[in-house]
């Protein structure tokens, strides 16, 4: 009996994690945050600075080419491309602790916008990949 | 330091005087060997640096206070934290602490400390280890972000790392010679409530500390407060070494709050001072802080430094490429 409960609990937790792996963080973004616009959008200098920051902070998990690494998501997916600036800013600030994405609130907000400016400068990789769905 | 241990130590000081002279000849050798070990450690880490396996950490420049920043999942930070001081009526000492901090998940960081100290005109000894865990409580950012901290310590009374100040910790703890104090091993549980906020580039952190010796001794309390900010909030478009984005500065204030029986400031020690961090791009982070004693029960000045290296995605070394 005890074993059965353990199996049920494990399956439930597994299902919860799988559901959370579909980019569900997008649903948590408050509307006011979602509408925010990158004040540095379109600035080549901001994207260049964002690249430096990306290489220092993000590339270790998401790869130098931002295509994802070891089950960690691509940042050149259509999901990321279609996310608003505000949604990406929210994710960088809050992280997604249960999914392994840490909060980057220790980075000053202008630096987070610089990273987003850099991500926007990357071409979209539309090839289907298991990583892009996270 | 445990309350009872402190009483024992004070009795010993009163009985024997404060400067043990039995290890005079070994004192200089002790400091030399510690420095040699430190240099060997640095050489090893420079090798890591040369291999490009390390990048910078995003932690505020604090030595005692904890912020909400946890280690990124999969990263291993190796650090050497040093403290040197010349307390009044006691021998000068150097206390190195090696830290191995690992980001188990985005909400859990675990850390092991190995500690020792070398006292002038005395000896060099290993003082013990600590195992610490920090848990992020809330899944997203708020004005105040709580983190829970639980630590098990197995250190002897000769420990001079002052990684935190609790209870009646004070200058008298540093006045015993090593032979007397090393035999007294203290096994303690320590909890901290870490509250931290990031706003407009600033970090503000407040820690409330409670520590319990596993023997029948009272709870001891302490606090730590800190604030810091990077020297600039905007990064430059090209990598640079001595530019403002690689520096962060701040200040720390911490001290003891006595025990559950006599909570307050009586017979406690307190310190405050500026702190600064310099992060070499794709290299180590170097921190420095002079911290000044604020009352007669405190050491005049504590000189602290820290060199840390973050080994990025350490766990990937054990994974097959995908």
Give the gap in angstroms from C-alpha B182 to the nearest C-alpha of chain A.
40
Average pLDDT over residues B189-198: 97
* pLDDT, position A9: 61
Nearest CB partner across the interface for B58, out of A45, A61, A106:
A106
Q: Is the pLDDT of residue B246 over 50?
A: yes
What topology does CATH give the domain B3-315? Porin (2.40.160)
Categorize the per-residue pLDDT at B82 as very low, low, confident or very high, splitting at 50, 70 and 90.
very high
A26 touches chain B (CB under 8 A): no
* pLDDT, position B12: 45
Interface test with B, best of A39, A46, A102 (most B CBs within 10 A): A102
The mean pLDDT of chain B is 86
The rounded distance, in Å, linking the Cα atoms of A126 and B282 is 31
In a domain, A2, yes or no: no
Average pLDDT over residues B38-43: 52
In a domain, A117, yes or no: yes
Bridge partners (DSSP) listed for residue B209: B192, B222
* pLDDT, position B234: 92
Q: Which residue has the tokens 């408050």?
A: A30
Categorize the per-residue pLDDT at B61 as very low, low, confident or very high, splitting at 50, 70 and 90.
very high
Categorize the per-residue pLDDT at B46 as very low, low, confident or very high, splitting at 50, 70 and 90.
very low
Q: Is the pLDDT of residue B101 over 60?
A: yes
Q: Is the pLDDT of residue B219 over 70?
A: yes
- The number of CA neighbours under 13 Å toward the Cβ of B77 is 27
Q: Where is average pLDDT lowest: A60-74, B115-129, B256-270? A: A60-74
Provide the domain limits for residue A32: 24-133
Q: Is the pLDDT of residue B10 over 90?
A: no
Q: Is the CB of A98 less than 8 angstroms away from the CB of B107?
A: yes
Average pLDDT over residues A35-63: 93
- Chain A residues touching residue B238 (CB < 8 angstroms): 48, 52
Categorize the per-residue pLDDT at A25 as very low, low, confident or very high, splitting at 50, 70 and 90.
confident
- The number of CA neighbours under 13 Å toward the Cβ of B110 is 5
In a domain, A97, yes or no: yes
A64 touches chain B (CB under 8 A): no
* pLDDT, position B2: 47
Nearest CB partner across the interface for A105, out of B106, B198, B313:
B198
Q: Is the CB of B238 less than 8 angstroms away from the CB of A61?
A: no
Give the gap in angstroms from C-alpha A66 to the nearest C-alpha of chain B.
15
Q: Is the pLDDT of residue A18 over 50?
A: no
Give the gap in angstroms from C-alpha A71 to the nearest C-alpha of chain B.
8
In a domain, A17, yes or no: no
Q: Which residue has the tokens 């790869």?
A: A63
Categorize the per-residue pLDDT at A113 as very low, low, confident or very high, splitting at 50, 70 and 90.
very high
Q: Does residue A53 or residue B10 have the better pLDDT?
A: A53
Q: Is the CB of A97 less than 8 angstroms away from the CB of B56?
A: no
pLDDT in tens, B136-192: 999 899 999 999 999 999 999 999 999 999 999 999 999 989 999 999 999 999 999
Q: Is the pLDDT of residue B49 over 80?
A: no
Tell me if ipTM is over 0.85: no
- Chain A residues touching residue B104 (CB < 8 angstroms): none
Q: Is the CB of A103 less than 8 angstroms away from the CB of B106?
A: yes
Query: Phi, psi (5° rounding) for residue A48?
Result: -65, -45
Task: Parse chain B into domains and list their residue ranges.
Answer: 3-315
pTM for the predicted model, two decimal places: 0.82
Percent of chain B's residues with pLDDT above 70: 81
Tallying the residues shown for chain A, one arrives at 134
A18 touches chain B (CB under 8 A): no
A72 touches chain B (CB under 8 A): no
Q: Does residue B259 or residue B16 have the better pLDDT?
A: B259
In a domain, A28, yes or no: yes
Percent of chain B's residues with pLDDT above 90: 71
The rounded distance, in Å, linking the Cα atoms of B166 and B317 is 39
pLDDT in tens, A83-103: 999 999 999 999 998 888 999
The tokens of B228 are what?
């810091």
Average pLDDT over residues A48-52: 95
The DSSP 8-state label assigned to residue B131 in this structure reads E
pLDDT in tens, A66-81: 999 888 899 999 999 9
Nearest CB partner across the interface for A94, out of B74, B140, B239:
B140
Give the gap in angstroms from C-alpha B151 to the nearest C-alpha of chain A.
22
Residue of B nearest to A131 (CA): B322
Q: Is the CB of B141 less than 8 angstroms away from the CB of A107?
A: no
Beta strand spans in B120-233 (E): 124-136, 145-156, 185-199, 202-213, 220-230
CATH of the domain at A72: 1.10.760.10
* pLDDT, position B8: 46
Residue B95 near residue B83 (C-beta atoms within 8 A): yes
Interface test with A, best of B199, B237, B241, B311 (most A CBs within 10 A): B237
Residue of B nearest to A56 (CA): B55
In a domain, A110, yes or no: yes
Residue A128 near residue B251 (C-beta atoms within 8 A): no
The tokens of B206 are what?
């407040």
């Amino acid at each position: 009996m005890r074993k059965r409960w353990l199996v049920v609990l494990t399956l439930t937790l597994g299902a919860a994690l799988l559901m959370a792996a579909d980019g569900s963080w997008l649903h948590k973004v408050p509307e006011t945050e979602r509408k925010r616009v990158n004040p540095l959008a379109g600035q080549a200098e901001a994207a260049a600075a964002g690249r430096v920051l990306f290489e220092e902070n993000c590339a270790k998990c998401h790869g130098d080419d931002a295509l994802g690494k070891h089950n960690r998501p691509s940042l050149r997916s259509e999901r990321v491309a279609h996310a608003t600036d505000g949604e990406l800013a929210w994710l960088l600030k809050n992280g997604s602790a249960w999914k392994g994405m840490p909060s980057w609130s220790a980075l000053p907000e202008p630096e987070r916008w610089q990273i987003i400016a850099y991500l926007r400068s990357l071409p979209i990789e539309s090839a289907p990949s298991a990583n892009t769905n996270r | 330091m445990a309350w009872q241990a402190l009483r024992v130590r004070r009795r010993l000081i009163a009985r024997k005087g404060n400067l043990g002279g039995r290890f005079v000849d070994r004192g200089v050798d002790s400091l030399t060997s510690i420095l040699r070990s430190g240099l060997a450690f640095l050489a090893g880490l420079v090798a890591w640096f040369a291999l490009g396996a390390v990048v910078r950490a995003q932690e505020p420049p604090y030595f005692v206070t904890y912020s909400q920043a946890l280690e990124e999942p999969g990263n291993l930070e190796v650090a050497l934290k040093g403290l040197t001081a010349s307390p009044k009526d006691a021998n000068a000492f150097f206390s190195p602490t090696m830290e191995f901090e690992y980001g188990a998940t985005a909400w859990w960081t675990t850390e092991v400390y190995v500690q020792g100290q070398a006292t002038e005109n005395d000896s060099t000894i290993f003082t013990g280890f600590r195992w610490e865990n920090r848990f992020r409580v809330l899944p997203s950012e708020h004005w105040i972000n709580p983190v829970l901290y639980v630590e098990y310590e197995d250190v002897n009374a000769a420990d001079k790392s002052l990684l935190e100040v609790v209870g009646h910790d004070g200058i008298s703890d540093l006045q015993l010679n090593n032979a007397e104090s090393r035999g007294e091993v203290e096994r303690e549980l320590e909890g901290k409530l870490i509250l931290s906020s990031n706003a407009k580039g600033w970090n503000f952190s407040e820690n409330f500390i409670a520590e319990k010796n596993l023997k029948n001794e009272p709870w001891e309390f302490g606090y730590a407060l800190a604030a810091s900010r990077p020297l600039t909030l905007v990064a430059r478009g090209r990598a640079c070494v001595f530019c403002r984005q690689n520096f962060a500065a701040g200040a720390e204030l911490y001290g003891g709050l006595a025990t559950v029986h006599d909570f307050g400031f009586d017979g406690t020690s307190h310190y405050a001072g500026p702190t600064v961090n310099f992060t070499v791009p794709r290299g180590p982070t170097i921190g420095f802080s002079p911290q000044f004693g604020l009352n007669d029960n405190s050491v005049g000045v504590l000189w602290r430094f820290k060199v840390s290296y973050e080994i990025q995605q350490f766990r990937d070394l054990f994974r097959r490429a995908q």
